[in-house]
A and B are shown apart, each in its own frame.
Chain A
């Protein structure tokens, strides 16, 4: 039985990583469909202005709230803008914030977590205590408070604030994963042979925690994209008219009864992307079987 304390349990970990499955489960067809879908979304986001799309900011006032047609695949919004183009462009904001923030979280949280688990001792105790203290503070409230007071708002600031808020979470996951590896015989063997700390960290520990790190990375991106959407609803994300999935759904609320398409397509884009990310993350973990992360 793994030792339990409530603060080393985040919902993403417990819900997605706590389900015990057979080791080495095959990835399956749906996994590759999800990978393809995420790839397609990223491709669309990067090349949105090269692809043959209509201008996402151009409003055709003769054709507002149109239903989907061949000319406007997803229809048009209340200002006559092409929803398909806006959904594709909207992926940019979500993916940039998701990836950027989690990269900050991993850039700082992951090395610290690995070091703390490898070194143990006072360094570990102080750092872990500090991180747990940060985790006790509701991050979403702090994010909203800081973003609303830190003007003028920009995509960069959003990424920085969410990224910093994710550091303690990443730290905890990586530290727990490293702890379970650091006491294995092959690590001790490497130590006895006189391998340098750097070599042990990079060659022995890193490859072994890579699957769980990658898994949590993807789930983290999904979580942050949800958070970005929530911020967009509150008007704390990028300013309109720049499309993001969140602010498109938010704008669609006002014309929900006239034009449900407007809410439907960005919602579907967001949900499919999140399902794909979560599924890939979950499969990777099941495939490499890092189930029991013991403390």
Chain B
């Protein structure tokens, strides 16, 4: 276990290093002087001179990377030249929105997927299983941006539920006052996640239920419910956790489209706005944050998977 974890941590550090180089280099990919890129065309020579000194722009590029890295490690991601606030504060205000939407969507997805997959796996190829199989396959082929348009059409326009439509989000609200405006994006993300979790868990449960220890449990006269939750669920949940790891990482990166459509200023929407206004330090900061978050989530799930099935680290 310890050896496995050390290996993962080394890999994690390697990946984070590559990500940091990639995000650092993003600014230099752009045509023109980095000082102009960061400060915009209207910058005064004095401001540029300060920036040159701060970022060591006159030094060779690999030294610039270390200056930059030093700044990042001190939480200094630079200052957005559009809003004149620090990039760190922009991210601090946007990130909780992502986390809340994704958190709610995952609770909904798991709460629905686990019991339904168990019901479905009890009688493979039964009526319910076939129906759910076809239904989930169809849902799998519906992109989130179509689902959200459909939801907006019915919920906000036809039924007139307030605070669910585009730009209904009011910033500064508490966790609970925002629930209404987060409901549609959360449902959209939950639907996509539910389909994935349902299909993965169902197929694993079916193969686990054919194992001998389940027959043993059945012959002991244990209830169906107890067999499912106590005996079949844990060995079947490894692939589920793996899928969740990839999926949640994907939601952080891909949740931008639902945010963009409803003008909810999470990381994704902020990123698009920053790209459109050429606010490159914000772009850089968000790309870095999201990438590191995705890697951290993968690492976290790796750890959980190891607790659920310790055999993996011994392979």
Contact = CB atoms under 8 A, between A and B. Distances in A.
Interface residues of B, number: 63
Contact of B253 (A140, A222, A282): A140
Nearest to A260: B153
A202 interface: no
Interface stretch (B44-52, B64-72, B243-251): B243-251
A20 interface: yes
A295 B290 CA distance: 30
A234 B250 CA distance: 17
20 contacts: A4-B305, A6-B242, A9-B239, A14-B196, A14-B246, A18-B199, A18-B239, A20-B206, A136-B295, A137-B15, A138-B249, A138-B252, A140-B254, A144-B272, A149-B26, A149-B29, A230-B143, A256-B149, A257-B157, A278-B137
B183 to A, nearest CB: 18
B14 interface: yes
Contacts of B141: 222, 271, 274-275, 277-278
Contacts of A7: 298
Contacts of B246: 6, 9-11, 14
Interface string A13-48: 011101110000000000000000000000000000
A277 B143 CA distance: 14
A270 B290 contact: no
A95 B2 CA distance: 48
A141 B287 contact: yes
Interface of A is mostly: helix
A277 B18 CA distance: 35
Interface of B is mostly: helix
A272 to B, nearest CB: 8
Given A4-B242, A11-B246, A263-B153, A137 B291 contact: yes
B132 to A, nearest CB: 12
A120 B302 CA distance: 26
A257 to B, nearest CB: 5
Interface string B123-139: 00000000000000110
Given A14-B239, A230-B257, A133 B143 contact: no
Contact of A6 (B153, B202, B298): B298
B300 to A, nearest CB: 11
B161 interface: no
A91 B30 CA distance: 33
Contact of B140 (A149, A229, A230, A278): A278
A249 interface: yes
Interface string A128-145: 000001001110111011
A185 B143 CA distance: 43
